[in-house]
Structure 1
């Protein structure tokens, strides 16, 4: 079990209401699973539905529940923010010619988790990341997600490491 092995548990609610019998059932399930995560990624479009608040400052009280150590708040073209219990890191969005946003959120969290894995950040290390390191990871994830929106499809639009490094270098 991930919990028993001190693995980092990431949770992206990825609200898709047509898949649920009711909005209340969806919200209840999300709030039930939330406390088991260490990292929660939530979009600006999901914030009020999940927390009942329309701004992140008020919503943090709901989101920092149970084991949650980090909240990643994505705002599409307006950038992203990361909150820990004692840090806030914000970045601006990337201006790109958008073809398709399908899979952008998934690409974002995947790229962020890749940076944690690449740098061997473990569960205890999440709280020890510096603001500069968090910003670097956040910028990488944001570039990755922006790149994914410049092509059609979800997985088909994802860059390999060489492609994303080249993309970032040319920005």
Structure 2
């Protein structure tokens, strides 16, 4: 592949994850970063996380963590005086809940320099973003981001999008629907989760979600549905791909890692059906570790690459 790898756009936060002994572990995670992590684990393609970063010690540690994992930051701006967002995971069994501190996070300024943003997305094999990426931005910044992604697509990049609807992040459901619909209009591969789509668009079943997206022009659609089978729809066919049943320890990042496994397989030239089967294996592995990020080698073994 001649193009320069993968750019994933969004917010990576500091992650506090509760341990069984009551202590807390500091890590780094966020939906689009979790997806990029899985892609980086499963491919040899260059990977960049496109965001904005602060100039504080935590931001420096964050980007150092990226570099150690083989992930760059392209031309992402550094915002003087800014810092990363923070969230804490608490678990009831394997199910998680989150508490956030992110209202002034540096990532909210990721589209503050349109030239740097365009440079970060230039000549990519894949550009990936999510509804959360859009939700953290003010309307003007959203327009800058969508224009940059549209230009990258016009220049030959594949665009993948997970709507990842989180109601509390939007001023209204109408705003969310309109913004996500605009994002869908520039999407090649859509990776929605059915309960989110049902909540926002009133879809009665995953087939309705897929049909709505197909009518909007998306050529490849994967509707995730928790422990139920994923519905995969491409131009010629549709498939139900069963999830794997495992004893989950922490479900944080399950859908994100599914997306990463799927997109890594697509970039490797695999069919949508094979890509979804691999993605389920990656997701099943992720929920058996604490936190959002499973070690690279663990993911590679799950994908049959170890």
| Structure 2 length-normalised TM | 0.47
Task: Report how many aligned residue pairs link the two structures.
Answer: 154
Contact (CA 8 Å) 1:41, 1:109: kept in 2 or not? yes
Aligned CA RMSD, in angstroms, stands at: 1.9
Question: How far off its partner does 1:47 sit?
Answer: 2.3
Alignment match, 2:275: 137
Question: How far off its partner does 1:168 sit?
Answer: 5.6
In structure 1, the residue corresponding to 2:240 is in which secondary structure? strand
| Structure 1 length-normalised TM | 0.80
Pick the structure with more strand per residue.
2
Alignment match, 2:145: none
Q: How does 1:1-171 map to 2 (within 5 A)?
A: 1-119=151-269, 133-155=271-293, 158-160=294-296, 162-167=297-302
Structure 1 residue ranges without an equivalent (≥5):
120-128
Over 3 Å counting, the alpha-carbon distance change for 1:84 and 1:16 in structure 2 is: same
Contact (CA 8 Å) 1:11, 1:40: kept in 2 or not? yes
Question: How far off its partner does 1:165 sit?
Answer: 4.4
Contact (CA 8 Å) 2:228, 2:243: kept in 1 or not? yes
Pick the structure with more helix per residue.
1
Deviations 1:4-50 (A, max 9, x none): 22211001011111111122221221112111100111112112134
In structure 2, the residue corresponding to 1:61 is in which secondary structure? helix
In structure 2, the residue corresponding to 1:9 is in which secondary structure? strand
Contact (CA 8 Å) 2:162, 2:191: kept in 1 or not? yes
